[in-house]
Amino acid sequence: MRRLIVILPVALFAGLIGVMVALLTDSERNSDLSRLPSPLIGKPAPAFDLPAVSDSVPGGFSTSDLIGRVSVVNVFASWCVPCLAEHPMISQLAGQGVAVYGINHRDKPDAATNWLRRHGNPYIAVGADLDARASLDWGVTGVPETFIIDANGVIAYKHVGPVTKDVLNKKILPKLREAEGG
Amino acid sequence: MKKLLTSLLLMAAFTATPLAPALAVNPDEVLDDPVLETRAREISTELRCVVCQNQSIDDSDAEIARDLRLLVRERLVAGDNDEQVVSYIVARYGDFVLLRPPWQPNTYMLWAGPPIMAIMIATLFVVFLRTYQRQRNAGLGPDPLSPHDRAELDALVERIAATTESGSGPKTQFRAELAEGLTPPPPDTTDETEDSNVDAGQGDTRS
């Protein structure tokens, strides 16, 4: 009993340190620490119906467009620098034949149109989300965000932040294959 | 009674006045219906701004916080009750938006941790206190000197006392002083039997 009283706090403290070290050194988890888990994964894509950004940009699109085949929904804005950084990856996805849709988040229609003209438009359709209302329903916390929707219209994966080459190869592409297989 | 009344009045006064001043809510967001607006404010203070993370949407100037404030008001106007509004937002942003985490399996440790720690510390404190007290009592109780040592000490005191002035007054006083000086300090090591032995030994060397 007496020995236990002495040992117990030390053991608890050692255990706590162990858990902390384990969590801190887990780099996989660490890189995602600031990212919030989305409760929408495994749920049907939210109901929305977005108009086209402008006459010269194909769009808009709605929930029903996402059913029938695996698709990618990319939330972007012309004012968002990381979106420009990930643009080549999104274009690469589209080039591989993936159905990529764009939600233009809180943007000026003119600015978005010009941006797409200058950098290329990889999207099958772009929906203008001027008041970010649809983005709220998607649980978007900031741009860019990228969702993978399976053929049943269920959200299979969400990536917060720009899609880098690494993210594309290690996360997006495997998840896409998984969604297509399942 | 008077005190109770005063404190009750004070409490009523404080609950009646909104404690938090309007920080981020813009005038154009405010609902016309003051009752709905009050509910909207209450819900907003409980919801985390997901990009600033430790501010409520009521406090935050971020655009998404504004959007969520408008969403809360929109749902209230649509006739949702407070829980429906909150669960509407939780369905999109997860439990993380709740500044006050719900009581559910993955938060049991979060909620129970502090009370468990407090109880453990209190228990340890009481156990240590009791042990300490018992050891002190033990030290004051039985003679810390063995009968042999006691007899030797007594003889020594007699001899010293005899060489100083005669008479019972100073002698008993001297004796008392000596005895006091020889009383062991409260033992603080863990093992009791060892303690008294060590202390008896100290008494020996000092005499």
Write out pLDDT tens, residues B25-50.
777 788 888 889 999 999 999 998 88
Q: Both tokens of residue B203?
A: 């008494």
- Is residue A68 within 8 Å of A151, Cβ to Cβ? yes
- Whether the CB of A85 is below 8 Å from some CB of chain B: the reply is no
Nearest-Cα distance to chain B for A96, in Å, is 31
A181 pLDDT more than 90: no
Position B6 in a domain: no
- Whether the CB of A59 is below 8 Å from some CB of chain B: the reply is no
* CATH assignment of the domain containing B99: 1.10.8.640
Please give the residue of chain B at the shortest CA–CA distance from A6.
Answer: B124
Residues of A in contact with B95 (CB under 8 A): 39
Into how many domains does chain B fold?
Answer: 2
Question: Is-above-0.90 flag for pTM?
Answer: no
Position B49 in a domain: yes
Which residue has better confidence, B158 or A171? A171
B110 pLDDT more than 70: yes
- Whether the CB of A130 is below 8 Å from some CB of chain B: the reply is no
Same domain assignment for residues B135 and B94: no
Same domain assignment for residues B116 and B97: no
Residues of B in contact with A141 (CB under 8 A): 50-51, 64, 93
Same domain assignment for residues B153 and B185: yes
What confidence score (pLDDT) does residue B7 get?
A: 66
What confidence score (pLDDT) does residue A28 get?
A: 62
What confidence score (pLDDT) does residue B39 get?
A: 92
The mean per-residue pLDDT over the stretch B52-65 comes to 85
What is the complex's ipTM, to 2 decimals?
A: 0.76
Give the pLDDT band of residue B194 (cuts 50, 70, 90). very low
Put simply, the answer to whether B51 touches A9 (Cβ < 8 Å) is: no
A3-7, A160-164, B59-63: lowest mean pLDDT where?
A: A3-7
- Domain final position from B104, B129, B163: B104
Number of CB atoms found within 10 A of residue A104's CB: 33
Position B1 in a domain: no
Share the mean pLDDT of chain B: 76
Position B5 in a domain: no
Q: How far apart are CA A102 and CA A122, in angstroms?
A: 9
SS3 content of chain A, % helix, strand, coil (to 5): 45, 20, 35
What confidence score (pLDDT) does residue B187 get?
A: 57
Same domain assignment for residues B138 and B76: no
User: From the list A2, A36, A133, which residue is nearest B96 (CB)?
Assistant: A36
Angle between helices B168-182 and B192-206 (to 10 degrees): 130
Q: Is the dihedral of CA B117, B123, B128, B133 positive or negative?
A: positive
- Domain final position from B54, B82, B104: B104
Position B118 in a domain: yes
- Is residue A78 within 8 Å of A107, Cβ to Cβ? yes
Size of interface A-B (CB pairs under 8 A): 45
The fraction of chain B above a pLDDT of 70, given in percent, is 63
> Which of A1, A3, A5 is best to mutate for the B interface (most B CBs within 10 A)?
A5
The fraction of chain A above a pLDDT of 70, given in percent, is 93
Nearest-Cα distance to chain A for B206, in Å, is 32
Domain span holding position B137: 111-206
What confidence score (pLDDT) does residue B96 get?
A: 84
Same domain assignment for residues B92 and B123: no
What confidence score (pLDDT) does residue A14 get?
A: 94
Please give the residue of chain A at the shortest CA–CA distance from B96.
Answer: A36
Share the mean pLDDT of chain A: 89
> Which of A6, A141, A143, A145 is best to mutate for the B interface (most B CBs within 10 A)?
A141
Same domain assignment for residues B119 and B75: no
Same domain assignment for residues B94 and B115: no
Q: How far apart are CA A108 and CA A128, in angstroms?
A: 9
Q: Both tokens of residue A73?
A: 């929904």
User: From the list A36, A131, A135, which residue is nearest B94 (CB)?
Assistant: A36
What confidence score (pLDDT) does residue B5 get?
A: 64
B163 pLDDT more than 80: no
Position B2 in a domain: no
Give the pLDDT band of residue A72 (cuts 50, 70, 90). very high
Position B131 in a domain: yes
- Concatenated DSSP letters for B67-130? HHHHHHHHHHHTT--HHHHHHHHHHHH-GGGBSS---SGGGHHHHHHHHHHHHHHHHHHHHHHH
A158 pLDDT more than 80: yes
Position B3 in a domain: no
What confidence score (pLDDT) does residue B186 get?
A: 59
Q: How far apart are CA A55 and CA A126, in angstroms?
A: 11
- Domain final position from B104, B130, B158: B104
What confidence score (pLDDT) does residue B203 get?
A: 43
Q: How far apart are CA A116 and CA A126, in angstroms?
A: 10
B70-79, B110-119, B126-135: lowest mean pLDDT where?
A: B126-135
The mean per-residue pLDDT over the stretch A134-143 comes to 89
Q: How far apart are CA B98 and CA B47, in angstroms?
A: 5
What confidence score (pLDDT) does residue B154 get?
A: 84
A89 pLDDT more than 60: yes
